[in-house]
Homo-oligomer: A and B are copies of this chain.
């Protein structure tokens, strides 16, 4: 049976670049990669700069954002261990990527990366799939911003962060980002985000331990609100 909704179904086994690769192939990929450290608050890459590399996140949390000339900022994604950056780019990056925490990434030159795909068919498949997942994520966000109320968008984010953690039984979600980052991700203001958290707490859907840790008390309610059912 097909999923009822893309975001309704956490990926059971998320595709990485290494999925299905032989040890030898994994080695080849790793040989082409250079480890890079990114300090908290620092930028990994900037909007409009030439897209020369793709990145795999090894640790830490980063944030993909886009700013207009007027200074309005939209956060496009929060990026965690196992996510990829720059896979579906043309010659220029369409966004900046900043580190929320100290992070380590592996950098592969775009040219090398494209060549490796010709030599490793399975890698090409993985890239295809990851590209599909990235687009699916963007479409989920379009739906959230276009159709959902403030508290539903907050549920959408909490659910998204929860789904990415391996264990579905865990009910604790860490919010590494600030309220401003959340607001800019969901197309809201700080105050509205804060009120949405308070409302969900008052309704008993979540518990807010600190501003950066929430407990999910009613997973089913959260999920419904996140999907806007």
Interface residues of A (CB under 8 A from B): 2-6, 48-50, 66, 68-70, 72-74, 76, 88-90, 92, 94-95, 114, 118, 121, 128-129, 131-136, 138-139, 141-143, 145-147, 184-187, 227-229
Residue of B nearest to A137 (CB): B138
Tell me, rounded to whole Å, the shortest Cβ–Cβ distance linking A57 to chain B. Answer: 18
Question: With A48-B4, A74-B146 in contact, is A228–B68 under 8 Å at CB?
Answer: yes
Residue of B nearest to A153 (CB): B146
Tell me, rounded to whole Å, the shortest Cβ–Cβ distance linking A25 to chain B. Answer: 17
Tell me, rounded to whole Å, the shortest Cβ–Cβ distance linking A119 to chain B. Answer: 12
Provide the residues of chain B in CB contact with A227, threshold 8 Å: 68-69
Q: A68 and B146: CB pair below 8 A? A: no
Q: B138 and A90: CB pair below 8 A? A: no
User: Taking the full assembly, how many copies of this chain does it contain?
Assistant: 2
With A and B bound together, what is the CA distance between A138 and B136 in angstroms?
Answer: 10
Question: With A48-B4, A142-B145, A228-B72 in contact, is A136–B187 under 8 Å at CB?
Answer: no
Q: A90 and B187: CB pair below 8 A? A: no
Q: A142 and B142: CB pair below 8 A? A: yes
Provide the residues of chain B in CB contact with A121, threshold 8 Å: 118
Q: A69 and B131: CB pair below 8 A? A: no
**Among the listed B66, B90, B138, which residue makes an inter-chain contact with A129, where contact means beta carbons less than 8 Å apart?**
B90
Provide the residues of chain B in CB contact with A134, threshold 8 Å: 135
Question: With A4-B48, A48-B4, A187-B145 in contact, is A70–B229 under 8 Å at CB?
Answer: yes
